[in-house]
Amino acid sequence: MMFKRRYFLLLAALFFCFGALLFFFVHEGRLLLPEEEPAARYNIQVIFKALANPPDFWRVVEQGVQSAAAEYGVNCEVTAPPMEKDVDRQIELVREAIAKHPDAIILAASDYERMVPVCKEVTDAGILLVTVDSDVNYDGRRCFVGTDNVAMGRKLAELVDEAVPPEQKIGVMGHVEGARTAVERRDGLVDNVAGGMERVAALDYCDGSEIVSRQRTKEMLIAHPEICCMVGLNESSALGVANAIRDLGLEGKVGLIACDSSEKQIQFMEQGTIQAFVIQNPFNMGYLSVSNTVSILQGRTVPEVVNTDSVIIKKEDLYKKENQKLMFPFTSVE
């Protein structure tokens, strides 16, 4: 029986060898299999709140979108209504996008509530919906990529308290009443600033227009001479405020805390009209919205909310290297 046992040992060794050989090659082979499918070229429709120019913000978001599109090999078509407040036009644009049967639609919603029905149309058509920058009040969207706007408002409050003593009043210029970003930043500001709502002497909206903002700020500052510091809740509104302050010759008397950075805003900061920014990271927003969309399309799970950072920039550290990197999008060729 000794012999029989040896025989079985031999057989076992033989099978082990074959097994090892097979395992090795299968294992090595599997390493090779492309983990991500070499992307059927996805078509993604991207709809912003406003055209890229004049607001720099959307230009940078688009850079992020195109950068990701190039990296992941997807087609991104970017459209936007001419004006930020033009909700109806955006709804039309979404419908046009649906008609093109894309794989996904990335939307920066002009209005938190009014965009809901058309968003339903998107998902009903079997198209993936991802929101960027401004969310919509609809569960069907799979992912939201944007700044934590409440945190951004808190940072604004922090800067206000640094710039002016607590007894001095402030004025707030928002972009679009009802837009999620405006509501959250305002709430973050008002809830955290010393003195709360009492502190806010005036609150107005400019419908996302720099010209309107400039006009209304002038009216506000004339009506409320007690205002010592203004807060612009986005790029256009802040630019309008800065222009108004200059128009009224109030530089140095009325401070300005702004959201986002654009070349014009930076010029205002260099001149001293704007004391500080809370900047978002529009490039990352655009990039991450596309990369997450691609992930979902490839069947992976992504968090429902992806927050991009907001950062405080003050005049004195405007040209610090790390801030340069955040504020000035790197483009090799203009």
23 lies in the binding site for other proteins (CB under 8 A): no
Q: Which residue has the tokens 């639609």?
A: 105
What is the Cα–Cα distance from 252 to 270, expressed in whole angstroms? Answer: 13
CB 189 within 8 A of CB 159: no
- Of these, 2, 28, 167, 197, which contacts other proteins (CB under 8 A)? 28
The DSSP code sequence of 205-263 is E-TT-HHHHHHHHHHHHHH-TTEEEEEESSHHHHHHHHHHHHHTT-TTTSEEEEES--H
Closest to other proteins by CB, 53 or 197:
53
Residue 196 DSSP symbol: G
Bridge partners for 173 per DSSP: 204, 232
Out of 165, 249, 299, 331, point to the residue binding other proteins (CB under 8 A).
331
Would you count residue 11 as binding other proteins (CB under 8 A)? yes
Cβ atoms of 154 and 120 closer than 8 Å = no
Amino acid found at 156:
L
Is 176 a binding residue for other proteins by CB under 8 A? The answer is no
Which residues within the stretch 247-266 sit at the binding site for other proteins (CB under 8 A)? 263-264, 266
- Based on the shown chain and the rule CB under 8 A, indicate whether residue 3 belongs to the binding site for other proteins: yes
Shortest distance (Å) from residue 132 CB to other proteins? 15
Contact (Cβ atoms closer than 8 angstroms) between residue 70 and residue 286: no
Q: Are 263 and 150 in contact (CB under 8 A)?
A: no
Q: Does 333 bind other proteins (CB under 8 A)?
A: yes
- Choose between 36 and 304: whose C-beta lies nearer to other proteins: 36
39 scored as a contact of other proteins (CB under 8 A): no
In the complex, least distance from residue 23 CB atom to other proteins, rounded to whole angstroms: 11
User: Which of residues 11 and 194 has its CB atom nearest to other proteins in the complex?
Assistant: 11
Report how far residue 184's alpha carbon sits from residue 171's, in angstroms, rounded to the nearest whole number.
17
Binding string to other proteins for residues 88 to 107, with x set by CB under 8 A, is what? --------------------
Nearer to other proteins, 90 or 147 (CB): 147
CA distance 32 to 47: 37
End-to-end alpha-carbon separation of the chain, Å?
85
State the residue for tokens 């919906």.
129
Helices 116-124 and 87-99 sit at what angle, rounded to 10 degrees? 0
x-or-dash pattern for other proteins, window 208-227, by CB under 8 A? --------------------
The stretch near other proteins (CB under 8 A) out of 24-32, 95-103, 141-149, 166-174 is 24-32
2, 13, 126, 249: residue in contact with other proteins (rule CB under 8 A): 13
The residue among 25 and 304 lying less far from other proteins, judged by its C-beta, is 25
Q: How far is the CB of 145 from other proteins (least distance, A)?
A: 12
> What b/e string do you get for 220-230 counting C-beta neighbours within 10 Å, with b at 16 or more?
bbeeeeebbbb
- Positions 59 through 88 that interact with other proteins (CB under 8 A): 63-64, 67, 71
The residues in 273-292 that bind other proteins, with binding defined as CB under 8 A, are 281, 283-284, 287-288
Q: Does 18 bind other proteins (CB under 8 A)?
A: yes
- Is residue 329 a contact residue for other proteins (CB under 8 A)? yes
Residues 65 and 45: their CA atoms lie apart, in Å, by: 11
Q: Which residues would be at the binding site for other proteins (CB under 8 A)?
A: 3-4, 7, 10-11, 13-14, 17-18, 20-21, 24-25, 28-29, 31-32, 63-64, 67, 71, 263-264, 266-267, 270-271, 281, 283-284, 287-288, 309, 319, 321, 324-334
